[in-house]
């Protein structure tokens, strides 16, 4: 597996040689963006207070703490991905509206996001869940924070990152969706295993 790199701002050209299953590292800016921020943009039509065209978002709600002696400056303590599927309802329109090029989270995303990634040229990638200190050490600085009224997990934290990864590409711009492909295999295996196990649990006689 060859290490690949992406830097923001990301262009369509940067994405064309990346395929599902590749491992990528990110340099530049990464903005946390999850449930309520998606809802505000799509359902309530509010403008996102951070420009993420050509940028990257992270489905994540971090632990941050104020830096003593500095006003409105925060240190990234712990930041890992949250379940991306929760944003499936909004992500296609979100990608279209914002021009975001890299969506990072945990677990797979569905057909609509897959369509958006192909149509508007974007990627979905997985950062290993639960590895939040590893990720925090790859954040050089929190440069800005918006929509702080949403509380610590849901605030848009604008992070400058260095070699942020491993990012395992789950949806590419060519229509591949790693999780959906894996699911087909898992379900085939499941059918056989469940049938066999069911023969062994006839306890009610």
Chain residues binding other proteins by CB under 8 A are: 1, 21, 23, 60-63, 65, 77-80, 82-85, 106-108, 126, 128-134, 136-137, 150-154, 166, 168, 170, 178-179, 182-183, 185-187, 189-190, 193-194, 196-198, 200-204
Q: Is the Cβ of residue 69 or residue 185 nearer to other proteins in the bound state?
A: 185
Rounded alpha-carbon distances, angstroms, from residue 49 to 111, 119, 160, 169: 28, 25, 17, 27
Nearer to other proteins, 27 or 63 (CB): 63
Pairwise CA distance, residues 174 & 115, whole Å: 9
Minimum distance from CB of 100 to other proteins (Å)? 21
Identify which of residues 27 and 152 has a Cβ nearer to other proteins in the complex: 152
- As a whole number of Å, the CA-based R_g of the chain is 19
Residue 46 preceded by cis peptide, ω within 30? no
* Tokens at 40, concatenated: 């505000």
* Residue found under tokens 């996001």: 113
In this structure, are residues 172 and 18 in contact, taking their beta carbons and an 8 Å threshold? Answer: yes
**Least separation in angstroms between CB 99 and other proteins:** 26
| Of residues 75 and 93, the one with the C-beta less far from other proteins | 75
CB of 90 to other proteins, least distance (A): 17
Q: Minimal distance in Å, beta carbon 8 to other proteins?
A: 22
Q: Is residue 191 classed as helix, strand or coil in its secondary structure?
A: helix
Catalytic residue positions?
38
């Amino acid at each position: 597996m060859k290490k690949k790199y992406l830097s923001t701002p990301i262009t369509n050209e940067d994405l064309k040689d990346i395929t599902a299953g590749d491992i990528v590292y990110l340099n530049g800016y990464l903005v946390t963006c999850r449930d309520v921020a998606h809802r505000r943009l799509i359902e309530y039509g509010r403008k996102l207070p951070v420009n993420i065209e050509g940028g990257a978002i992270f489905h994540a709600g971090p632990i941050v703490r104020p830096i003593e002696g500095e006003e409105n400056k925060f240190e990234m303590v712990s930041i890992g991905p949250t379940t991306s599927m929760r944003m499936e309802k909004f992500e296609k329109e979100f990608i279209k509206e914002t021009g975001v090029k890299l969506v990072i989270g945990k677990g797979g995303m569905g057909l609509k996001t897959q369509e958006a990634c192909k149509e508007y040229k974007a990627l979905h990638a997985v950062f290993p869940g639960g590895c939040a200190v590893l990720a925090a050490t790859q954040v050089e600085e929190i440069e800005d924070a918006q929509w702080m009224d949403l509380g610590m997990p849901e605030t848009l934290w604008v992070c400058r990152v260095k070699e942020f990864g491993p990012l395992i590409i789950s949806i590419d711009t060519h229509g591949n969706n790693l999780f959906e492909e894996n699911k087909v295999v898992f379900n085939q295996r499941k059918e056989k295993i469940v049938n066999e196990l069911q023969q062994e649990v006839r306890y009610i006689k």
